[in-house]
Amino acid sequence: MERRLDPLGYKRIVRERRGSYEPLFASGVWRYRELLPPIDPTSIVSLAEGNMPLYEAPGGASYAGVDRLAYLHLGMNPTGSFKDLGMTVAVSAAKAAGMRGVVAASTGNTASSMAAYAARAGLEAHALVPRGRVTQAKLAQMLEYGARIVEVEGSFDDAFAQLDRVADGALQIVNSTNPFRLEGQKCAAFSILEQRGWHVPDWVVLPGGNLGNISAIGRGFREALELHLIDRLPRLALVRADAGTQTRATAIAVGIPQSRERASRELHESDGIELVASDEAIFAAKARIGREGIGCEPASAASLAGLRILRERGRVAPDADVVAVLTGHVLKDAGAVQHAAV
Ligand code: F0G
């Protein structure tokens, strides 16, 4: 990336934009538009995404065994997941390119987000989902926003393999293999930094499925470093479901992550770590997050579960300053609460 800007001046500008009434700057993605691909403003489709809270979580900190923990709650986005950060850019780009519609394979959240942004853009949305493995809430969102749903036998990987059969020249694939998605999602890193006064945490822990999000967040931190907005990188911890495609954290039931190479690079660059958590550990962590009045869908709780495991193994120091990323809203999988043993 060959961009130069005055770091202090830029921090001031994004802060001023946060308080402005300019509709585009109601978005915590487009406030960073200099750091995004250039898209004609008349094509931009935004739902005021990207304004996520960073919640201090003393209960979660003591559960995991660290001094300081905060949750960046990406479930507090317009469609209830982190996907909105990337989808605003990907759908805007598809609209600018004159596409007829968009298509994605999904465990539910990508497709819910795609459906909403496509509806706002006046584009068709086609969702390929694994039959019987997507929550009611996510299917309801897709239907509400007018998406066409194709249920595929098997797992997310089988749905992904069908993508090329549905996509034609006028239907843009908006899975995280679409580079515009990652550009938007990298703004989650800027949000963490901005809300902490650009003070870098020691660790950022997040759940992984297709590994688009860690690729994007890792890139966001690296760009912030290159632009001298920060002077070091946080270490990244990626937590996947031990049960693979069979996990009850259905959002991350992915067998073959499409962004494996990019994710491995980000883990390497940040001196990061990858681990798995059992469903038991994920659901226990989810209950703990709920008891602190925050709540999340099961996949998100993999971050707290993973942090606890890293502490038990001595990989994260007790005095570490940690941000855990919560990726989806508690109501995305209301049924999952029955599994929680508190
Ligand atoms: N958390 C939630 C709630 C998700 O929906 C996903 C992915 C992830 C974490 C993992 O993110 O794939 O970038 O590593 N959901 C995708 C979907 C697979 O289709 O909605 P990732």
Q: Is the pLDDT of residue 177 over 60?
A: yes
Q: Which domain holds residue 87?
A: 83-180
CA distance 226 to 104: 32
Counting ligand 1 atoms within 8 A of each CB, the residue from 149, 206, 213 with the most, and so the one to mutate, is 213
Average pLDDT over residues 76-87: 98
Residue 1, pLDDT above cutoff 70: no
Please identify, among 149, 180, 211, the residue that sits at the C-terminal boundary of a domain: 180
Asked whether the predicted pLDDT for residue 3 surpasses 80, the reply is no
Q: What is the CATH number of the domain that holds 91?
A: 3.40.50.1100
- Say yes or no to pLDDT of 339 above 60: no
Determine the angle formed by the axes of helices 260-269 and 212-226, rounding to 10 degrees: 40
Largest CA distance in the chain: 52
For residue 338, pLDDT over 80 is answered with no
Examine residue 5 and state whether it is found in any structural domain, yes or no: no
pLDDT of 341 over the 60 cut = no
Residue 23 is assigned to a structural domain of this protein: no
Mean pLDDT of 220-241: 98
- Mean pLDDT value across residues 222-237: 98
Residues 66 and 162 in one domain: no
Closest listed residue to residue 37, CA positions, set 102, 100, 108, 90:
90
Is the same domain home to 59 and 155? no
Give the ligand 1 atom nearest the CA of 216: 13
Task: Please check whether residue 163 lies inside any domain of the structure.
Answer: yes
For residues 198 and 232, is the Cβ–Cβ distance under 8 A? no
Across residues 48-58, what is the average pLDDT?
Answer: 98
Number of domains the chain is built from: 2
Do 144 and 195 lie in one domain? The reply is no
d(C-alpha 173, C-alpha 166), whole Å: 9
User: Last residue of some domain: 180, 202, 226?
Assistant: 180
Residue 117: what pLDDT?
Answer: 99
Of 180, 211, 245, the one marking the end of a domain is 180
Determine if ligand 1 sits within 6 Å of the CB of residue 112: no
Q: Is 81 in the pocket of ligand 1 (CB under 6 A)?
A: yes
pLDDT mean over 102-124: 98
**Angle, CA of 113, 118 and 121, to the nearest 5°:** 135
At position 160, the amino acid (one-letter code) is F
Residue 115: CB within 6 Å of ligand 1? no
Contact 210 CB / ligand 1 (< 6 Å): yes
Say yes or no: 291 and 191 in one domain.
Answer: yes
Does one domain contain both 298 and 267? Answer: yes
34-44 mean pLDDT: 96
Q: Indicate if the pLDDT at residue 342 is higher than 60.
A: no
Same domain, 254 and 324: yes
**Can you give the pLDDT at residue 4?**
76
Q: What is the pLDDT of residue 168?
A: 87
Do 260 and 333 fall within a single domain?
A: yes
| Domain identity same for 116 and 245 | no
Task: Assess whether the C-beta atom of 328 lies below 6 angstroms from ligand 1.
Answer: yes
pLDDT-based confidence at 337, cuts 50/70/90? confident
Q: Which atom of ligand 1 is nearest to the CA of 300?
A: 1
Using a 6 Å cutoff on CB, does residue 215 contact ligand 1? no
Ligand 1: centre distance to CA 107 (Å): 7
Residues 176 and 208 reside in one and the same domain: no
> Average pLDDT in the 226-232 region?
98
Tell me, yes or no, whether 8 lies in a domain. Answer: no
Nearest residue (by CA) to ligand 1, atom 15, is: 251
Same-domain status, 172 and 190 = no
The verdict on 170 and 232 lying in the same domain is no
Task: State the average pLDDT for the chain.
Answer: 96
Q: Please indicate, yes or no, whether residues 70 and 92 belong to a single structural domain of this protein.
A: no
